[in-house]
Amino acid sequence: MAPATPDMDEAAGILEDLLGAIVEALALDADVTVEFDDGTLSGRVEGDDLGLLIGRHGRTIEAVQHLAQRIVQRGEPDGPRVVIDAGDYRERRATALREEADEAVERALRTGVAVELRTMPALERRVVHEHLRDRDGVETYSEGAEPERYLVVAPV
């Protein structure tokens, strides 16, 4: 029998403890906050010089988020979605992804050829899909297998 999914208060406490331990282990001068809203448990780390937590191309924060998701859900897929952010990295990254998506649309429409974007985590692919969802003349879809899954912007 699989362990039960923790209630939201317990899940928030688990996430806060995990992020606090990571911040301490990395010797960061940062504060941790956790919120639950609309089915998503969000952990935020705020402070100076959070590059070590974010990692090159966001790889470290993605790994922390994956680990946090596994710990909070305890093997139960019905648990809350977990999103970890540090120093507003997610919003800065979303802005860059939207710009990259707009450039891919221009290229796809200009050349009439599908444009493949680099591999990216599901959360980032979702940002691009949602950004281009109502864009005329193109469609988006994902190809490949995790962790090498990527997004394609194709003219219709």
Cβ within 8 Å of residue 11, ≥6 positions away: 5, 36, 41, 72, 79, 80
pLDDT digits (tens, 9 = 90+) for 97-149: 999 999 999 999 999 999 999 999 888 999 999 999 999 999 999 999 988 99
Segments of the chain assigned E as strands:
30-37, 40-47, 81-86, 115-119, 138-143, 150-155
Structural domains of the chain in order of their starting residue, each with its CATH number: 8-87 (3.30.300.20), 92-155 (3.30.1370.50)
Stretch 36-51: mean pLDDT, rounded? 94
pTM for the complete prediction?
0.81
Q: C-alpha 72: how far from its chain's center? A: 16
